Amino acid sequence: MDNAIYSGRDVVEFSIWDVLRNLLLAARWTVALSLITFAAGGLVAIILVLIRNRTDRWGKHVVVLYVQLFQGTPLLMQLFLAYFGLSALGFQISAWGAASLALTLYCSAFLSEIWHGCIQAVSKGQWEASACLALNWAEQMRYIILPQAIKLAIPPTVGFMVQAVKATALASVIGFIELTKAGTMIANATFKPFMVFSIIGVLYFCLCYPISRYARSLERKMNVR
Amino acid sequence: MSDKPLTSEIVIEAKGLKKFFGSKSVLKGIDLTVFQSEVVAIIGRSGSGKSTLLRCLNGLEAFQEGSVRINGAELKTNNAQTLRALRQQIGMIFQSFNLFPHLSVGENLMLAPHLVHKKTKNELSTQAINLLKRVGLEEKFHAFPDELSGGQQQRVAIARALAMGPSILLCDEITSALDPELVSEVLQVVESLAQEGMTLLMVTHEMNFAKKVSHRVIFMHEGRVHEEGSSIDLFTNPKTTELKQFLSSI
């Protein structure tokens, strides 16, 4: 009886395969949301880093404020504001759109801070030496600073990407059906939360572990030159 | 001293140069004229403004008052275009070498001529090999900076600066970070440049070297040119008490 729910007269049984299949289907949305977040968040972060490096004081202040705002408030709150706040203001936004928007803003703040730090970490002497060789700003960035900064940036960027994959789980609170939300629904239907959430754990691990592994091999490749 | 006669052509001309870091005045009105093929040593205590003066001359530091002319062209630190043109005539070598660690020695030498002068691959590698020969490091073309000794790194840095074909070289305490036994190999290269007629402006703590190679020595004290003259005059017959004190302290 534990393993069944009543649906009219019939008792519906869920096999492990049913559970796994439905979780895997939902995991697609976790992957999609993660990819959108990385791509859009990374793009916005690049723009933020450029503004911070290329403009005078006010541009820097605006970027720092932006970063502080999104780093200093809970992602959960940002998701609520993006979803319910925007619709209260009259903008119709889907859970999908709100989750993408909130996670993009959140990721861009963290990534821009990480990347800005890595550019700062390249010694001032590298800027000066390349300036003395008559390189312009774009050439300095492209050939001298970024190759060194990227090497520094890989471990913290990947570390944050893994965090971001797991952070997509919070999108479940605004009704976006990704892995965690689907898991909650299935657990409620099957009365087997332990099994369901164990599978969810394994699935998140399967998403995150390859990213870490890839990062390590990339690091090794760059150190070899 | 170099055998080449000095021409009367002025290559560096600074007038009334003033520089502040915040409210702190670092350069308090510097007038400096350097002629073509002249070798000028700048000496003085740390904090006297020697390095800052050098860095103002190629636009690494902005200055608040005064003017600088390099080969007749006015230096404007806020104009990227003119700075780029100026920096092809005036090379700089640093205390900390500042080689690009992610590039091989050859790539260090070829990058800027490739980007700025748009030379072909063949021209670039021939030039790089010749320059490495000149500093005695032709076998290090494929090595990376962290595989070289300090003296070797500094010689590569000199070769890298020469690759842009400058007529003036600024040397900012280029042997101060070196182990004592490595100093002479770098100074030999600098001396050979002086003999070939390169205009050299060097901040140095190597008094014997300054005495031997430079035509003129400038003693800086508290942001001013305190005393200047030929190297023989200045070292054997210092006039101001500050210079006497400085020379006796080293």
Across B212-237, average pLDDT: 93
Cβ within 8 Å, pair A129-B91: no
Has residue A44 got a pLDDT over 80? yes
pLDDT digits 0-9 by tens, B148-206? 999 999 999 999 999 999 999 999 999 999 999 999 999 999 999 999 999 999 999 99
Predicted local distance difference test score (pLDDT) of residue A2 = 45
Q: Identify the domain containing residue B40 by its residue range.
A: 10-249
B91 chain-A contacts, CB cut-off 8 A: 132-133
Cβ within 8 Å, pair A148-B102: yes
Instruction: Find the CATH number of the domain harbouring B221.
Output: 3.40.50.300
Cβ within 8 Å, pair B87-A151: no
Does any domain span residue B5? no
Confidence of residue A54 (pLDDT cuts 50, 70, 90): confident
Give the closest of A126, A134, A151 to B100, CB-based: A126
Residue that is written with structure tokens 């780093």 in the block: A71
ipTM reported for the complex surpasses 0.90: yes
Four-point Cα dihedral A204, A100, A84, A109, nearest 10 = 90
Has residue A4 got a pLDDT over 70? no
Domain borders along chain A are: 16-224
Residue that is written with structure tokens 């999104």 in the block: A70
A-to-B residue pairs, Cβ atoms closer than 8 angstroms: 59
Predicted local distance difference test score (pLDDT) of residue A47 = 96
Encoding tokens for residue A148? 């060194």
Confidence of residue A222 (pLDDT cuts 50, 70, 90): confident
pLDDT digits 0-9 by tens, A179-210? 999 999 999 988 889 999 999 999 999 999 99
Percent of chain B with pLDDT over 90: 85
Superfamily of chain region A16-224: MetI-like (1.10.3720.10)
Across A114-140, average pLDDT: 96
Cβ within 8 Å, pair B164-A125: no
Structural domain count of chain B: 1
* Residue A80: its H or E element: helix A75-80
* Residue from A56, A130, A132 to probe the interface with B (highest B Cβ count within 10 Å): A132
Q: What is the mean pLDDT of chain B?
A: 92
Predicted local distance difference test score (pLDDT) of residue B80 = 86
Does any domain span residue B1? no
Has residue A166 got a pLDDT over 70? yes
Interatomic CA distance for residues A70 and A64, integer angstroms: 10
Give the closest of B85, B99, B102 to A147, CB-based: B102
